[in-house]
A = this chain, B = another copy of it.
Amino acid sequence: MSKVYFKNDYSELAAPEVLAYMAKISNGHYNGYGLDEICESAADRIKKELKYDNCDVHFMGGGTQTNLVMLDQILRSYEAVAAVSTGHINVHESGSIERTGHKIEALPSHNGKMCAADLEDLLRHRTDEHMVKIGAAYISQSTETGTVYSKKELQELKRVCSDNGIYLFIDGARLGVALMCDGSDLKMSDMPYLCDAFYIGATKNGGMLGEALVIVNDDLKPHFRNAMKQHGALLAKGFVVGAQFDALFTDGLYYRLAEHSNTMALNLKKKMQEKGIELTIDSPTNQQFIRLPNEKVKELENNFAFEIWEDGPEYTVIRLVCSWATREEDIDKLLKAL
C-alpha cells in the first residue's frame, strides 16, 4: 500500500482538466520558444484576470529559474536584493542568485514576512560604495511558511521601494492559496498595483510545470527574452507551459484548485487544534507545521509522506501540505493516525 501524501503540492502529474487540455492540443503544430497561439491565449487570459493590459507575460519552467532570471534582469551588476532570512532565494535555491552575481541582504523574518520598517532601515544605512547597493526587494506570497501578506502590508512595502527607487518582486509560486485563503483582502487584479513584477505558479497549483511571470514595470521589459535564453529558460516547446495556464485560467480552475488545497488544510488544522496538537505557525493556507514527539513522527512515516522541518532531541516539527489532489479521506486517515 502506498503512503498517503502530505509531502508537498507538486507530487502529481497535473489536475485532470489540465491533462484533458493537453490531450486536446496533442495533434497540432506550434511555433517554438513561446511564440505560438497557445502562449498568446494564455497571456491574454492572465491579462484579463489582472484587468491590466500593459504588462508582459512570460512562461518559465520553474520557480528558482524564474527568480534568478527576473532578479538578474532587475538588478544592475553592482546591486543586491533584500529578502527575509527565511526567503526561498536565501535558503533553498543553492546560492542561485549569488551565482548570477548578486548578494542577498537578509532581513529578519516576521512569520516568514518582510517588514517595511526593516527594509526602510536597511536602505537608510546604505550610503557608501563599500556596502553593496540594494536594487530590489524580494518577497513570497504566500510565504515559505504558509503565511500571507495583507494588501496593506504589500502597499507599505511597495511604497518603501518606490520612495527609494528600488523594485519589488513577488514570488508567487503559491500565489493561488494566498489569494483564496480565509480572510484574504487581496484579488488577482490588485497584483499589478502592488509590485513591479510577480509570478503565478502552476507547478504547485495543479499544472504539470511552469510559472507565468508578469512584468508590470516598463523598465524591466526590454530584452527579457534575451535574458531568458541566456539562462537556459526559453523552452523550445514553450507551448507546453503556455498550455498549463490556458487551462488553469479557463473557468476559474486555478482558483478552484487553490481553494480546495486551503479547504483541506484548514479542515486538518482545525481538527488538529481540537486534538491539542501544537501548530508552530498560524498558517491560513495549504502548508501546516506541527510539532510532534520523535517517536510519533517515526510511526507516522510508515503510512504518510511529509517533510521534516526541524529536528530536535525529543520533538520534531513536520510540514503537512495539502494540494488539489488531497482527498477528505486522506485527512481522515491522518487525523486518525495522529
Contacts and interface: CB of A to CB of B under 8 A. Distances in A.
Interface of A: 2-3, 5, 7-8, 10-14, 16, 19, 22-23, 25-33, 61-69, 72-73, 76-80, 91-96, 98-104, 106, 129-133, 203-204, 208-209, 223, 225-237, 239-240, 305, 325
A138 to B, nearest CB: 15
Contact of A235 (B5, B19, B28, B61): B61
A171 to B, nearest CB: 13
B130 A229 contact: yes
Given A5-B29, A77-B77, A230-B78, A102 B95 contact: yes
A325 to B, nearest CB: 8
Contacts of A64: 229, 232, 234
A229 B32 contact: no
A98 B96 contact: no
A273 B197 CA distance: 53
Given A64-B234, A208-B240, A130 B94 contact: yes
14 contacts: A11-B29, A61-B61, A62-B236, A65-B233, A77-B227, A78-B94, A92-B131, A93-B229, A94-B130, A94-B132, A94-B230, A96-B229, A103-B104, A209-B237
A305 B29 CA distance: 10
Contacts of A305: 29
A28 B13 CA distance: 8
Contacts of A239: 13
Main secondary structure of the interface of A (DSSP, over half): loop
Contacts of A130: 91-94, 229
A229 B94 contact: yes
Given A73-B77, A77-B230, A99-B230, 20 more contacts: A7-B31, A10-B237, A11-B31, A12-B28, A13-B239, A13-B240, A62-B235, A64-B232, A64-B234, A65-B233, A72-B77, A78-B94, A92-B131, A94-B229, A99-B101, A106-B106, A129-B228, A133-B223, A204-B236, A232-B233
Contact of A223 (B22, B73, B76, B101): B76
Each complex incorporates copies of this chain amounting to: 4
B93 A230 contact: yes
Nearest to A8: B32
A23 B68 CA distance: 32
Contacts of A229: 64, 93-94, 96, 129-130
A232 B96 contact: yes
A61 to B, nearest CB: 5
B232 A231 contact: yes
B93 A102 contact: no
Contacts of A68: 231-232
B132 A95 contact: yes
A335 B237 CA distance: 28
Contacts of A76: 223
Contacts of A30: 11-12
B26 A14 contact: yes
Contacts of A98: 80, 98, 101-104, 132
A147 B203 CA distance: 38
